[in-house]
Structure 1
Amino acid sequence: METISQASSGNLPIELVFLIVKYAAEPTFAQPDQYEAKNPYSTARTLCLVSRAVRRIALPEMLHTVLLGFHNVTAFVHALSMQKAYAQKNPGLCLAYTRHIRNIWIGKFCVGPELIPEHSSFGTSVPESAIDLFAPVLLAAPSLAIDFSSMDLLTCCVDHAWTRMSKDIDRECLPPPWSTKTLTISGMVITPWRITALASRSAFLASVAHLIVLSHTESSSNLHVIRRAAGTIGPRDYNLPRWMTHAPWASFKKLETISLVFPHVKPPLDVFAFSTGMDLPVELLTFPASLVKGHRVPLEIKASTETGEGHISLNDVRVVVSDFQVHFCVFCHEWDKVWARIVG
């Protein structure tokens, strides 16, 4: 391994230098700045330029939780391609991403990247080599978050991994070719869920144990804040997303818990101030998945002790208010920051 000179490290023991580098390389997801203004990975990326030894410490820290807007998925695949080239020509620079990524976020689909297959709704072609690189990394992460508008990218990777399993054996007797246990869904959720169309996709949903639901639209989140501020819903009542009534719950065969995330609002609240932007904590509500797997999915969580088909009692829900705040306004919701703090 490349050594770090004593002069550059202030004559500190090398073990202590490595600990400092590791700590400094941790992404600052708790930063008050928006990620567009200050990249949370900026320190780690700078450290990777110091030396090969520092890079091997900093890069795994940077990879623990990966935030990808859809526009930079292609750049990430390019990085994977570089690692493949390093493995063949310069093994000292190669790092297996799948060993270090624990959480990965895929943001909202905005433009047609080169990753989506021809048969998808995006209508663009994809080199098989790109999916060969991306699918194993995406599906190796135990925690995966994806905007519903980008769901075709996930289904493409799932189908790819499934077809790579031998057709001569009973697939149901083997572990699935993915490690996803926690699935987070954000964005506008529509019906039908195309991810249930094939056996491979249903098998993917069947392996999910925990589902996290971020507000499915900005207007929905805004409406929750306004209703809570106006007192039209109780201080401990919550409306569940409407799409939950037509979600394919039968496919979530191993689902144990569902978590919902809401801005934490304590009246009185200046609605005008919220419209221009303010920092608020978030509430994480978690309840057993069995409560939504009946013939009729509840649409409310209510503080009353009454039970019924129309709502879930708050007595059956675990509520945690965050010790951090994120920026909310009418047109800006930092759900990627919320997710990174929850799973990190």
Structure 2
Amino acid sequence: MKPAIRSHSPLSDLPIELLLIIFKDAAQPTFSQREKYNNKNPYSTALSLCLVSRLVRRTILPDFLHTILLRRRHSVKKFANALLMQKAYAEEQSDLFFDYTPAVQRMWICEAFDYSLNAQAQSYSWMDVMAESYYKDIELKHNMSVLLPVILAAPALVVDRRHLKFILELEGAENACASRTDHNISGQSTFSGKTKSLAIIQQSINYVLNIFRNISKESVFFASIQHLTYLIDLAEDSCHFRDISSGVDSPENPVSMWMRDLPWAYMKSLQTFSVVYPHLPAPYDFQSYVTQGLDLHVERLTVSAALYKQDPEFFPWVTPPFPVTDPGTKRIESDGLSFEVTRDKTRLTQFFCSWDKAWASGLIEDEVVL
């Protein structure tokens, strides 16, 4: 009988400590601007490595969970199911239990990618659309209630208006329930305020954020936020902000309107308010921007919240023309107002929300990495 042939892997000769370092590095999603992950799961490598062994799984999970990108409705559902599974593991005292909450540092929740995929879907009757929306909202609210402790513990959160509405409603309901129990007679929130950076997706100039009316008086979520960012609606507003990035228009009209709409009474820790938009050089291929997308730098306009709040009517917005900010540089136009352009580029398309790659790769953070 011939002896069994065994394949020999070069990795088998390495010490376990070195192997774990390799696995940790391989498990981290790159979120590269060049990586075509619209139809590819950026976490696929990490998910496969989790199947190697329990030791490998426990080692790579913190890096795997550091940045959570939920771009579709079913992604929110899958993450909620994963949290429920961990709860079951905890009750069974299983070795597979892992607490996701402290591991998640950055979280993105938005369904815009679903909308772009369904742009050419078949039309439905008005009644069908309303019924489908109703049942989807029920399911989404349930899933968001499961995610809520993780969301409120994440230092950096990016969310669209729809999901932010659910977060505020659920936090308010939890606070109201807690205030009626003996465990929380003071009525203070049962959640600790850990979210320092909040970005709201698709904040159109022509849209008023009436979701702010859902904020609970006991909200520690809004009270803890230090940096608030609006990611503009690319389809509606990017051409308007082109004039701002090219130095021929003042940001006063759109930005001051958004800031007046903020719930200042609840945002006790707010330090900066920012708007992020494409840095569109002139001339540029408008047709490519609309249909195929362009590799563009990103500009971040930042306002000192403290200085604005002192005297909103006379905040020094500056008047055009003023110098254009070059890629990789920052200019301060007046006290409390600055412009900063990223050194790197991201792929942006006007008619589809594509901020996720820019965020995941760090291009729209509160402090732009130069």
Q: What is the DSSP-based 3-state SS (H/G/I as helix, E as strand, rest coil) of the residue aligned with 1:9?
A: helix
Could you tell me the TM-score, scaled by structure 1's length?
0.78
The residue number in structure 1 matching 2:230 is: 213
Q: Output one character per residue of 1:228-281: Cα deviation in whole Å (capped at 9) or x when no partner.
A: 69x6826xx546444333232333222111122121233332333333321112
Question: Residue type of the partner of 1:205?
Answer: F
The residue number in structure 1 matching 2:31 is: 29
- How has the CA–CA distance of structure 1 residues 208 and 16 changed in structure 2, closer, same or farther, with 3 Å as cutoff? same
Q: Is the 8 A contact 2:168 2:216 kept in 1?
A: no
The residue number in structure 2 matching 1:337 is: 357
Q: What is the DSSP-based 3-state SS (H/G/I as helix, E as strand, rest coil) of the residue aligned with 1:281?
A: strand
Question: Residue type of the partner of 1:251?
Answer: Y
- How has the CA–CA distance of structure 1 residues 13 and 319 changed in structure 2, closer, same or farther, with 3 Å as cutoff? farther
Moved more, 320-329 or 121-130: 121-130
Question: Residue type of the partner of 2:279?
Answer: H
- How has the CA–CA distance of structure 1 residues 35 and 134 changed in structure 2, closer, same or farther, with 3 Å as cutoff? same
Alignment of 1:53-64 (within 5 A): 53-64=55-66
The residue number in structure 1 matching 2:92 is: 89
The residue number in structure 2 matching 1:323 is: 343
- How has the CA–CA distance of structure 1 residues 34 and 300 changed in structure 2, closer, same or farther, with 3 Å as cutoff? farther
- How has the CA–CA distance of structure 1 residues 296 and 70 changed in structure 2, closer, same or farther, with 3 Å as cutoff? farther
Shift of 1:196: 3.3
Q: What is the DSSP-based 3-state SS (H/G/I as helix, E as strand, rest coil) of the residue aligned with 2:101?
A: helix
Alignment of 1:298-313 (within 5 A): 302=319, 313=333
Q: Is the 8 A contact 1:228 1:265 kept in 2?
A: no
- How has the CA–CA distance of structure 1 residues 188 and 322 changed in structure 2, closer, same or farther, with 3 Å as cutoff? closer
The residue number in structure 2 matching 1:267 is: 282
Moved more, 319-328 or 91-100: 319-328
Indicate yes or no: 2:68 matched with 1:66.
yes
Q: Is the 8 A contact 1:148 1:186 kept in 2?
A: yes
For 2:106 and 2:78, locate their aligned partners in 1 and report how far apart those are by CA, in whole Å: 18
- How has the CA–CA distance of structure 1 residues 329 and 161 changed in structure 2, closer, same or farther, with 3 Å as cutoff? same
Q: Name structure 2 gaps, 5 residues minimum.
A: 1-7, 116-132, 323-331
The residue number in structure 2 matching 1:51 is: 53
Moved more, 213-222 or 135-144: 213-222
For 2:297 and 2:262, locate their aligned partners in 1 and report how far apart those are by CA, in whole Å: 28
Shift of 1:127: 10
Quick check: which has more Rg, 1 or 2? 2
Question: Residue type of the partner of 2:228?
Answer: L
The residue number in structure 2 matching 1:114 is: none
> Aligned match of 1:281 in 292, 297, 315?
297
Q: Is the 8 A contact 1:22 1:58 kept in 2?
A: yes
Identity among equivalent positions (%) equals: 34
Q: Output one character per residue of 1:74-110: Cα deviation in whole Å (capped at 9) or x when no partner.
A: 1111111111122233621111000100111110376
Indicate yes or no: 2:256 matched with 1:253.
no
- How has the CA–CA distance of structure 1 residues 31 and 44 changed in structure 2, closer, same or farther, with 3 Å as cutoff? farther
Q: What is the DSSP-based 3-state SS (H/G/I as helix, E as strand, rest coil) of the residue aligned with 1:97?
A: coil
- How has the CA–CA distance of structure 1 residues 25 and 36 changed in structure 2, closer, same or farther, with 3 Å as cutoff? same
- How has the CA–CA distance of structure 1 residues 200 and 30 changed in structure 2, closer, same or farther, with 3 Å as cutoff? farther
Question: Residue type of the partner of 1:75?
Answer: K
Q: Output one character per residue of 1:141-180: Cα deviation in whole Å (capped at 9) or x when no partner.
A: 11111101322221233124423535453245x7853421
- How has the CA–CA distance of structure 1 residues 82 and 203 changed in structure 2, closer, same or farther, with 3 Å as cutoff? closer
> Aligned match of 2:221 in 181, 196, 204?
204
For 2:48 and 2:297, locate their aligned partners in 1 and report how far apart those are by CA, in whole Å: 31
Shift of 1:299: 10
- How has the CA–CA distance of structure 1 residues 253 and 142 changed in structure 2, closer, same or farther, with 3 Å as cutoff? same
For 1:53 and 1:8, locate their aligned partners in 2 and report how far apart those are by CA, in whole Å: 20
Q: Is the 8 A contact 1:193 1:248 kept in 2?
A: no
Shift of 1:323: 2.9
The residue number in structure 1 matching 2:105 is: 102
> Aligned match of 2:170 in 146, 157, 172?
157
Q: Output one character per residue of 1:91-135: Cα deviation in whole Å (capped at 9) or x when no partner.
A: 211110001001111103769xxxxxxxxx957446997565321
Shift of 1:192: 5.2
Q: Output one character per residue of 1:184-204: Cα deviation in whole Å (capped at 9) or x when no partner.
A: 111246435333345346553
For 1:244 and 1:64, locate their aligned partners in 2 and report how far apart those are by CA, in whole Å: 31
For 1:303 and 1:315, locate their aligned partners in 2 and report how far apart those are by CA, in whole Å: 16
Task: Please tell me the root mean square deviation across aligned C-alpha atoms, in Å.
Answer: 3.4
> Aligned match of 1:144 in 140, 143, 157?
157
Q: What is the DSSP-based 3-state SS (H/G/I as helix, E as strand, rest coil) of the residue aligned with 2:265?
A: helix
- How has the CA–CA distance of structure 1 residues 14 and 192 changed in structure 2, closer, same or farther, with 3 Å as cutoff? closer
Q: Name structure 1 gaps, 5 residues minimum.
A: 1-5, 112-120, 306-311
Q: Is the 8 A contact 2:317 2:334 kept in 1?
A: no
Question: Residue type of the partner of 2:46?
Answer: A
Could you tell me the TM-score, scaled by structure 2's length?
0.74
